[in-house]
Chains A and B, each alone.
Chain A
């Protein structure tokens, strides 16, 4: 079945460091891929998405490229801020029922 695998956290970085959170997937067909962010005590917010191979999603300085050849959708940011501290979830949608398949989340802590 379809699945998403994220790198385990927690990830701890200093402010202005480069961020990569790895996400790989297994899916039949051509899934859409998503990154969501969850700040402490809140719901999830859509961070970015990509719907076909080689698409790059971007938002708030974060980027991820849909790589079909490596079945990956790694999240990157060139210079993290303390306010980026949150849990990041990778997800995919591969069917017509609109259900999302979720990774387990990666916690990021950015220190000043």
Chain B
């Protein structure tokens, strides 16, 4: 089955620690996205990538980093510079073209110990 997988489902971070969230897709999509979801604030775009080896900052990129070395993979690192990382993180992908839909993974909930 084609789809997007995110792991782990829950992740705990200690103070000062960097953590990496995994996102893999087998839909052969060019574009991938990372969103942060907080209660009552909807979805906010962290980073997006339209093609391998290229990515752009979204609206709230500070304290996060990404890489896009393979078409299938778009990992997100939450660095120690992100002072309020507790949130639900969603990865998505889409095909090329305008007006295309984004397909979402099941999400990773990050909690700070």
Interface residues of B (CB under 8 A from A): 4, 6, 31, 33, 40-43, 45, 48, 50, 58, 90, 92, 94, 96-107
Contact = CB atoms under 8 A, between A and B. Distances in A.
Interface secondary structure of A, over-half rule: loop
A60 to B, nearest CB: 15
B98 A98 contact: yes
Interface of A: 31-32, 34, 36, 41-46, 49, 51, 89, 93, 95-100, 102-105
Contacts of B99: 31-32, 49, 51, 93
B42 A102 contact: yes
Contacts of A31: 99
Nearest to A52: B99
A45 B6 CA distance: 15
Contacts of B104: 36, 43-45
A97 B107 CA distance: 23
